[in-house]
């Protein structure tokens, strides 16, 4: 039963991968180029997310 669930999950994720492929190709070809300061503006909130997750891990330990 456990192996059956693992195979089912792997097949489902494999199909999801196939489904996402066109979206991946689309965004690779059509993503607008980042302007100056764009990556910094994105990395600041993502850094805050990392800090929050570390804080939550410390809270649970």
Partner 1 sequence: MSTDSFLLKSAESRAVSANKVLKNTYLLLAATLGFSAFTALLSVALAMPSWTYLAAVIVSMILGIFVLPKTANSAAGVGVIFVITGLLGFGLGAILTQYLALPNGGETIGLAFGGTAAIFLGLSGYALTSKRDFSFMGGFLFAGMMVVMIAAIANIFLHLPLLSLVISSAIILLMSGFILMDTARIARGEETNYIMATYGIYLSIFNIFISLLQILGIMGGDD
Residue 13 touches partner 1, criterion: CB under 8 A: yes
Question: Could you say whether residue 46 binds partner 1 (CB under 8 A)?
Answer: yes
State the Cα–Cα distance between residues 11 and 32, nearest whole angstrom.
33
CB 27, min distance to partner 1, A: 4
Site residues for partner 1 per CB under 8 A: 5-6, 8-10, 12-14, 16-17, 19-21, 23-24, 27-28, 30-35, 38, 41-42, 45-46, 48-50, 52-53, 56-57, 59-61
């Amino acid at each position: 039963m456990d192996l059956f669930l693992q195979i089912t999950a792997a097949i489902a994720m494999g199909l999801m991968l196939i489904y996402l492929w066109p979206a991946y190709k689309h965004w690779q070809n059509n993503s607008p180029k980042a302007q100056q300061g764009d990556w910094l503006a994105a990395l600041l909130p993502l850094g805050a997310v990392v800090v929050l997750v570390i804080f939550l891990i410390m809270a649970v330990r």
